[in-house]
Structure formats: structure tokens, C-alpha cells
Amino acid sequence: MLDNKISFTLNGKKVEFIGDPLRRLIDTLREDFGLTGVKEGCGEGECGACSVIKDGKLVTSCIIPMGSVAGSDIWTIEGIRDTELGAIIIEAFADGGAVQCGFCIPGMVLASYVLLSEKTNPSELEIREAISGNICRCTGYDLIVESIRLADSRRRGV
Amino acid sequence: MSASCYIPENLTEALEIRKKVHAIPLAGGTDLMVQAKRGIGINPVFPAPIMIITNLEELKGIRVEEDGTLVIGALTTSAEIASDERVFYHIRKAASLMGAVSLRNSATIGGNIANASPKGDLPQPLILLDAEVVLSSIDGERSMKVDDFITGAKKTALKDDEIIKEIRVRPVKATHLFYHKIGTRRANAISKLSLSILADVEDGIVKDFRASSGAAGNKVKRDRNVEMILIGKHIEELPSLVEEFTSAWDGILSPHAMPKYRRESTRRMLSYFLERIAAGAEPGIIE
């Protein structure tokens, strides 16, 4: 089988992948591009540790084959942390004590980023729904929810 | 490395590949990628050729035709279905409760039907509404009811040169709606049991009544003959028909595990709905 060439945008830059189109997006990001902020937890699309943003939407990169990525716009924590909103969320997570072991946090930040990009002043229910696919074994979620609220108030300047 | 993998650029190319090598279509990948998973850093392997159709625009989107028929492209995601007000209540609700945010952004309606799991979220409301699936091949199109398309657990009538193109749902008149999914938790749960019900009540008469049970047998369970027990009856007669109806419904279920739990839960939900209607519940969603 011939290797396929797949072009996509990664953290704002045009990149190319050459290889098996069934290779998982998570493996390409971690091993080929060195973006180790993408974590592998369950490997079945359920825990959210491998979350990335694909065309503006949160997806789990462990169950996405490279063939599905052609022409897509992919963002990982390494790109989002340099955006204005990303930086606000990360600072709020640190100030709010949202982080313990940190393994779920890149995914949590990306889920928060998508939520706050789509909604201003989200309700607690909306916040919990937005991170419902991101599992955290340490915090019990309350401090993460509080930190997302903090990030939202800070970006609105209140 | 897998047998082979194709990335068709349009539907015609996909149908040609499907005809020639019978490649299995990979839509959102949320089922197939999990089944083919081998480990960290190791590429998934499938026993048959695969074609990745995730980005085929021709199979995406929702439209409503002039006669009110709702047409959902096979590659429309659960998130898109859940957020579209034009979609009938039961389908929208089921889509909104599938997995969590990221799964709903990848999983497609075509994939959910093709996977044909008895626990699949979307076939259940689609079968309630007599939805049809349109199957496309290089030689033409055919359509059939989703209920006929899914023939058993993980089994469908899909031919090896066909692709699910779209799902068609004609408008269904209903005054009272009910959808309930029982899972181990609110988000990210596979159905333990699900039930959709609708009734169309006019001047106290039950003009139409339908129910469909998910995860309670080898496929979604529905039976028009059992539904007929209630059709044409006055709502005041319903309390006296609850026992006959729920027992008959119980007779069509064949739960693979925890049968007592699944049967009793289904019976209670059906009874609750009928009692509410008999009590003159306002039209709308029965919570």
C-alpha cells in the first residue's frame, strides 16, 4: 500500500503527514510532532485526556484516524496556551487550584476553551456538560468548574 | 499495516471503491477505531479494506423537504442532530444523550445505524418514527425502513457495494412525547435500557400510539399489533388497558441480561406514560 500524504493545519501552521491513514491522530501528534500535552488515558474516546480541537470542536484524538484529518484545523494545548483566551484559562486553573496531578488538564483546558469561545457567562450546568467527557480522578471537579467561572469573569473584565 | 485504506474524495469515488473492493466505510470512527485498537503508537489494523469517508460533504447536513420529510445525511454528527430544532423530539433527545461532547462531535447517524448495536442510541427513536434509510450503490439507490435494515445484533441488510446515504423521516403527528435512557451515569454512558413513546390524542381518543425499546433484545423492539391495543381507545379506558398492554409489550422484549430489571423498568415507564395521559396531561413532553 502506498503511503498517503495528508495535509492539515496544526496550531495555526500548515503541516503534512505521510503514512498510514489509519494511524491515530494522538500518535501523530505525540510521536511525530512531539506534542506531548495530548495524553492517552483510555484509548477508547471516553476519558477525554487526548482531547484536541478539530475545526472548532472538541474531539478525542485517540479514535480519529489521520485519514479523517485531511484539510482540518487542529489545535492542541501547545497552540491554545499562546492564545489570549487560552492563557486566561490556564492562569485561572492555576489560581483556582484546579490542578492536582495534571494528566486531565490539557483536555480540560481545551474543553473550557471551546465552551468559552461559544458562550459568555455559562451556567454551572453548561460548564459541567462541557467537561462531561473529561474525566478527572483527583479533584472532584468543583475547583475545575470554579476555575472556568473565574476564567470567564476575567475575560469579561468583571 | 491494514489490508488497504482508501480516502475517497467524493461519493461517486466512494461507491466505486465500495463496489470494487467492498471497503468498509469509516465515518466518525467512534466504534471502528475502538474495535481495531492495538495500543499506544501502534496503528490500528482492520481485517478488511477500509475507506475513510469522514469528510464527504455530500453525505452531511439536515434538510426538510416540501412535504415536511426530514432528511439527515449519513455523516451528520450527533452534535449537529442534537442542536437542530427541526429534528423530531425523540431523535434529538437521543442524540443529545449519546456519549459526551467530543463523542457527539465525531459519531454519525449513519455509523450508529450501520453498527447495529442493540444499545445504539439513534436506531431506537428512528424505528419509533418509521424512519427509512436510503442505501446508495454505483448501480442505483434503494430504501427501506430502519427497522427492516437492522436485522439483528450487529447485523444489517447492507450489501457489500452499498453505502448508507441518508435517513428520511416523514412527519409524525403526536401530542404526547416521552424519551428515557437509563445509563450508569448522566454523561458518557452506554444505554442499559431506553424507551421512546408517543401518543396522538384528539378529543380524548388515542389516534396513534407508538413505543420502541432499546437495549432490550437483539435489536430495537417495536410491535404495531401491540400498539393497536391502545389505538382508537378513549383516554378514560387506558387505566383498564395498562395491564393488557404492558404484558403484551413485555412479550416482545428479549433482554440478553438482567431481564427482570429491564422488563420491570420498561413496564413502569409505559404505565407511567399511560397514567399521565389518562389523567389528562397537557400535550407536550411527559417528564
| SS3 label, residue A5 | strand
CATH code of the domain made up of B176-280 = 3.30.390.50
Does the structure show a pLDDT above 90 at A152? yes
Assess contact for B70 and B168: CB atoms under 8 A: yes
Contact yes or no for A106/A122 (Cβ under 8 A): no
pLDDT band at A4 (very low <50, low <70, confident <90, very high): confident
- Establish whether this prediction's ipTM goes over 0.85: yes
Average pLDDT over residues B280-287: 95
What was the pLDDT predicted at A91? 98
Residue A155 has what pLDDT? 94
Closest approach of chain A CAs to the CA of B185, in angstroms?
Answer: 11
Domain ranges across chain B: 5-169, 176-280
* Pairing assessment for the beta strands B155-156 and B205-214 based on DSSP bridges: unpaired
Q: pLDDT at residue B204 above 90? A: yes
Mean pLDDT of chain B: 96
Please report residues of B whose CB lies closer than 8 A to that of A129. Answer: 101, 187
Q: Which helix (H) or strand (E) holds B133?
A: strand B132-137
- pLDDT for the residue B163: 98
d(CA A16, CA A22): 15
User: What are the backbone dihedrals phi and psi of residue B19, each rounded to the nearest 5 degrees, phi first?
Assistant: -65, -45
pLDDT digits (tens, 9 = 90+) for B118-174: 999 999 999 999 999 999 999 999 999 999 999 999 999 999 999 999 999 999 999
- All residues of chain A having their beta carbon less than 8 Å from the beta carbon of residue B33 are 24, 45, 62-65
CB atoms B43 and A67 under 8 Å: no
- B30 lies within 8 A of chain A by CB: yes
Please give the Cα distance from A43 to B172 (Å, whole number): 40
Poorest-confidence range of A141-145, B174-178, B189-193?
B189-193
> B196 — contact with chain A (CB < 8 Å)?
no
Residue A1 confidence class, pLDDT cut points 50, 70, 90: very low
Cβ within 8 Å, pair B37-A59: no
Q: Report the distance separating Cα A135 and Cα A112, nearest Å.
A: 13
Q: Which site among B31, B52, B102 would you substitute to test the A interface, given the most A Cβ atoms closer than 10 Å to its Cβ?
A: B102
Is A43 in Cβ contact with B40 (below 8 Å)? yes
Q: Residue B102 and residue A20: Cβ atoms within 8 Å? A: no
Closest-CA residue of chain A to B100: A133
Closest listed residue to residue B87, CA positions, set B118, B110, B63, B111: B63
SS3 at position A51: strand
Which residues of B fall within a CB distance of 8 Å from A57?
79, 102, 105
> Cell 423530531 sits at which residue?
B88
The mean per-residue pLDDT over the stretch A27-46 comes to 97
Judging contacts by C-beta atoms under 8 Å, the chain B residues touching residue A141 are: none
Distance CA B138, CA B9 (A): 15
**pLDDT value for B183:** 87
Name the packing angle between helices A84-95 and A105-118 (round to 10°): 120
Residue B1 pLDDT more than 70? no
DSSP helix/strand/coil, B131: coil
Best B7, B9, B76, B101 member to test A by mutation, with max A CBs in 10 Å, is B101
- Across the interface, whether the CB atoms of B103 and A60 are under 8 A apart is answered yes
pLDDT average, residue stretch A5-31 = 97
> Residue B3: what pLDDT?
66
Question: Cβ distance B104 to B89 under 8 Å?
Answer: no
Q: Annotate B104-114 with b (16+ C-beta within 10 A) or e (fewer).
A: bbbbbbbbbbb
Q: Do B52 and A68 touch (CB under 8 A)?
A: yes
Burial pattern B19-41, b for ≥16 Cβ within 10 A else e, equals eebebbbbbbbbbbbbebbeeee
pLDDT at A3: 63
Nearest-neighbour CA in chain A from B26: distance (Å): 9
Residue B189 has pLDDT above 90, yes or no: no
**B278 pLDDT above the threshold of 90:** yes
Q: Which residues in chain A have their CB less than 8 angstroms from residue B7's CB?
A: 4, 6, 21, 67, 70
Could you tell me which CATH number the domain at A4-76 has? 3.10.20.30
A81-155: CATH topology: DNA polymerase; domain 1 (1.10.150)
Q: What is the pLDDT of residue B227?
A: 98
Summarised one tens digit per residue, pLDDT across range A120-137 is 999 999 999 999 999 999
Looking at chain A, which residue has its C-alpha nearest residue B186? Answer: A132
Q: Using the beta-carbon criterion (under 8 Å), do B44 and A65 form an inter-chain contact?
A: yes
Domain B5-169: CATH architecture, name and number where available: 2-Layer Sandwich (3.30)
Residues of chain A with CATH 1.10.150.120: 81-155
pLDDT in tens, B50-92: 999 999 999 999 999 999 999 999 999 999 999 999 999 999 9
Q: Which of A64-68, A153-157, B1-5 has the highest mean pLDDT?
A: A64-68
